[in-house]
Amino acid sequence: ILNVEQSPQSLHVQEGDSTNFTCSFPSSNFYALHWYRWETAKSPEALFVMTLNGDEKKKGRISATLNTKEGYSYLYIKGSQPEDSATYLCALGSGDYKLSFGAGTTVTVRA
Amino acid sequence: ETGVTQTPRHLVMGMTNKKSLKCEQHLGHNAMYWYKQSAKKPLELMFVYSLEERVENNSVPSRFSPECPNSSHLFLHLHTLQPEDSALYLCASSPMAGPYEQYFGPGTRLTVT
């Protein structure tokens, strides 16, 4: 299992503000980087799967970038809303059966 | 029902009990996974099944025993657990085993007393 780190562990955002957070991973043997959104008492849901260096993905107000050479991905939330409150997980796929998950960044949006 | 379902959603068991967790996927996927999630820790992969064959056992103690009778169903049989086994147990599936997008169930919250 590869060491995937997410920072910060948690953050509080005022409604309407934008925010971003980081996923760091070992850059060797890279296959794919996944982002999941996990609301309390629900199932984790896939947001993005990125495979190419320089990839940028967007879904509504949420977007993500990928740098495989330096081993990091950013997730951005623009104009945060209370429904964006969740834990955001990143996971590294590296060519075997596994996804190696980070511990997550928990976002709380204050109205 | 669609997606990945898990039953029960909550389970309290004593250390001498035997219980089973059930996972069912309605997505036509060929791979299924068990994960353990303890507070503030990353999801920890336990087992991977591909086409009903176990392809990964991530050094899990024998008190956890998986079973995959067909590609739609996955069980985790529990026996003589310890209090430190209390956690959220998540099931997931994917079209095939590998570093691909996984579809998760809502989990079973297990408490061992």
- Cα dist from A25 to A93, B19, B38, whole Å: 10, 37, 21
Nearest neighbour of A43 by CB, restricted to B41, B58, B106: B106
DSSP category for residue A15: T
Which of A79-88, B53-62, B87-96, B100-109 has the weakest average pLDDT? B53-62
Nearest neighbour of A43 by CB, restricted to B42, B99, B105: B105
For range A49-62, the mean pLDDT: 96
Q: What is the pLDDT of residue A11?
A: 97
Percent of chain B with pLDDT over 90: 83
Q: pLDDT for B85-112, tens place per residue?
A: 999 999 999 999 988 999 999 999 999 9
Asked whether the beta carbons of B13 and B110 are under 8 A apart, the reply is yes
Tell me the nearest-neighbour CA distance from B6 into chain A, angstroms. Answer: 10
Contacts of B4 in chain A (CB under 8 A): 43
Q: What is the pLDDT of residue B1?
A: 55
Percent of chain A with pLDDT over 90: 87
Tokens of B89: 């147990």
Residue with the bigger pLDDT between B39 and A4: it is A4
Q: What is the pLDDT of residue A94?
A: 86
Asked whether the predicted pLDDT for residue B81 surpasses 90, the reply is yes
* Phi (first) and psi of residue B91, to 5 degrees: -110, 145
Please answer yes or no on whether B3 and A96 come within 8 Å at the CB atom.
no
Q: What is the pLDDT of residue A61?
A: 97
Asked whether the predicted pLDDT for residue A60 surpasses 90, the reply is yes
List of E strands, chain B: 4-7, 10-13, 18-25, 31-37, 44-50, 53-57, 64-70, 73-79, 87-94, 103-104, 108-112
Nearest neighbour of A97 by CB, restricted to B90, B97, B103: B97
Tell me the nearest-neighbour CA distance from A98 into chain B, angstroms. Answer: 6
Q: What is the pLDDT of residue A1?
A: 64
